[in-house]
Amino acid sequence: MVIEDLKGLLKDKNIIYDIFYEEGHQESFQYRGDEPYSCEKKETRGVGLRVIKDGRIGFSSTSDFSKLKELVDTALTLSFYGEKVNIKLPWEKDLPEVKTISNKTSLIKSEKLCSMAEELISLIKEKEPEVKIDLSIEKEYQYVRLANSEGFDASYEKIILGFGFDGLLVLEDGITWLSDFYNLSENPELDFKRVSEDFCQLIKIAKKKVKINTGEYKVILMPIPAAHFCSILFVGANGKQLEKNATPLIDKEGKQIAPTFLNIVDDGIYPFGYNTSPFDGDGIKRRSTKVIENGIFSNFLFDLVTAQKLNRKSTGNSDRSYGNMPRIQATNIYVEPSSDYPLTKIIKDVNNGIIIYYMLGAGQSNVLAGEFNWVINLGFKIENGEIIGRIKDCMFAGNLYEYLNKIILIGSEIKDLGNYYLPPIVLDKCKIVTKGI
């Protein structure tokens, strides 16, 4: 109804516009220190209106549907100051069919969500009674509809189920913090026994501390640091940075920037990905875009406005919520795994190295230039193919564009983080600075 009302208000104004409407509801359960803490429910709704009047963009949004007339007036007023653009809003046919709702997940009841949480907590506590578990399980339904002045009018629904937990272990010589996350949007069945065993195994080895000297090491990036590593690439591959001449990738299209076995994809139609949808915030089809193909930098990501300015084509990467103007954003980032390199085998092949699970300081460095500067928050020393203990007070800094060429191996086991699909990434000759234990 809101879209129809807005269309009515905009009918005789002879302007280009699009209307982004969303509504949804969410139910989540939080556990703290092994115990239940809260049940939160959210009902959300809102509408954003983008207008192009005399070639200039204006935008306004609201969650108060008694203000639709004000919304239109405001967007039109603001367009007087807005950026001048020369775009035609799309009316794309044959939108891709995407998987965003699974029956199994949509039918799951609140009681089941709580019992999943309790089962995992009790399995971990059986093995590691001293660890304190915080846990969050969230089920979210989203409905999005986009309509524009060209006649495009489409919608989609999505159900997301996320299951995340962390453990805090306090020992005399310091604190160990670990976390894990599962995107259960496709299938809510989780092998709790295996999940708890993997988690407890990490806790066990974290109890033993080992000393390490400043020097060069082989480094295995587990999914969370691997995601931060890849996210720096996606700052550089953002078409906005190309337009602004602010990316080191500016003259690298079609050039080798990484070893030939590296393939990285921005996949807007990955089944049950957090950012999967049939169309983007401009109404352009979502798709899968190769960003690094066989080590070659192959594509920047674009939305409609930026693509038009650079005489390119949109890659369907316009990210939008009702409250914000569309902007370029990666969707689901997928790093192609190798065929036969499980983590156990990777570790076995390392003589003198480090495996990093978590770090502090992501995104704080000069990411435009590709810099990263991390404190290794949970990392272990590997000697002669075996993890021998936890390292502390270590920092790892470098430049992504240099380190892409230090990738020597990609693992074969993918971790689904909802918007990142990542195997372990192995880097050679990484400078680790340390103060020792």
CB of 243 to another protein, least distance (A): 8
Please, are residues 142 and 155 in contact by the beta-carbon 8 Å criterion?
no
Segment 140-169, which members bind another protein (CB under 8 A)? 168
37 binds another protein (CB under 8 A): yes
DSSP letter string, 41-78: EEEEEEEEEEEEETTEEEEEEES-GGGHHHHHHHHHHH
From the list 44, 417, 99, the residue with the least C-alpha distance to 269 is 99
From the list 222, 165, 212, 215, the residue with the least C-alpha distance to 37 is 165
41 binds another protein (CB under 8 A): yes
Count residues binding another protein (CB under 8 A): 76
- At residue 89, φ and ψ (nearest 5 deg) are -70, 145
203 binds another protein (CB under 8 A): no
From 17, 20, 21, 59, residue interacting with another protein (rule: CB under 8 A)? 59
Segment 370-399, which members bind another protein (CB under 8 A)? 371, 373-375, 377, 393, 395-399
Q: Which two tokens stand for residue 278?
A: 């049939």
207 binds another protein (CB under 8 A): no
62 versus 102: smaller Cβ distance to another protein:
62
214 versus 352: smaller Cβ distance to another protein:
214
CB of 173 to another protein, least distance (A): 10
From 6, 16, 52, 74, residue interacting with another protein (rule: CB under 8 A)? 74
143 versus 197: smaller Cβ distance to another protein:
143
Please report which residue ranges of 310-391 form alpha helices under DSSP H: 343-348
From 132, 207, 209, 312, residue interacting with another protein (rule: CB under 8 A)? 132
99 versus 132: smaller Cβ distance to another protein:
132
From 7, 45, 145, 207, residue interacting with another protein (rule: CB under 8 A)? 45
361 binds another protein (CB under 8 A): yes
From 174, 204, 351, 383, residue interacting with another protein (rule: CB under 8 A)? 174
The site map against another protein for 82-101 (x = CB under 8 A) is xx------------------
CB of 82 to another protein, least distance (A): 5
Across-strand partners of 266? 289, 333
Provide the 3-class DSSP secondary structure of residue 29.
strand
From 20, 53, 60, 285, residue interacting with another protein (rule: CB under 8 A)? 60
| Interface segment toward another protein; rule CB under 8 A; list 262-270, 339-347, 364-372, 413-421 | 364-372
- At residue 146, φ and ψ (nearest 5 deg) are -125, 130
64 binds another protein (CB under 8 A): yes
124 versus 335: smaller Cβ distance to another protein:
124
343 binds another protein (CB under 8 A): no
63 versus 351: smaller Cβ distance to another protein:
63
4 versus 393: smaller Cβ distance to another protein:
393
**Side chain identity at 356, as an amino acid letter?**
I
CB of 414 to another protein, least distance (A): 25
Kindly compute the dihedral angle of the four CA atoms of residues 398, 399, 403, 404, in this order, to the nearest 10 degrees. 160
CB of 209 to another protein, least distance (A): 14
Kindly compute the dihedral angle of the four CA atoms of residues 334, 398, 177, 186, in this order, to the nearest 10 degrees. 0
From 360, 383, 386, 429, residue interacting with another protein (rule: CB under 8 A)? 360
The site map against another protein for 211-250 (x = CB under 8 A) is ---x-------------------------x---xxxxx--
32 binds another protein (CB under 8 A): yes
From the list 239, 235, 266, the residue with the least C-alpha distance to 253 is 239
CA distance 340 to 142: 37
Kindly compute the dihedral angle of the four CA atoms of residues 163, 231, 342, 383, in this order, to the nearest 10 degrees. -110
| Site of tokens 């480094």 | 219
CA distance 99 to 347: 35
End-to-end CA distance of the chain: 63
Segment 412-431, which members bind another protein (CB under 8 A)? 431
CA distance 258 to 376: 24
CB of 287 to another protein, least distance (A): 24
138 versus 267: smaller Cβ distance to another protein:
138
Please report which residue ranges of 374-424 form alpha helices under DSSP H: 400-403
CA distance 218 to 212: 13
275 binds another protein (CB under 8 A): no
CB of 97 to another protein, least distance (A): 31
- Distances from the Cα of 65 to the Cα of 24, 117, 155, 419, angstroms: 15, 37, 19, 31
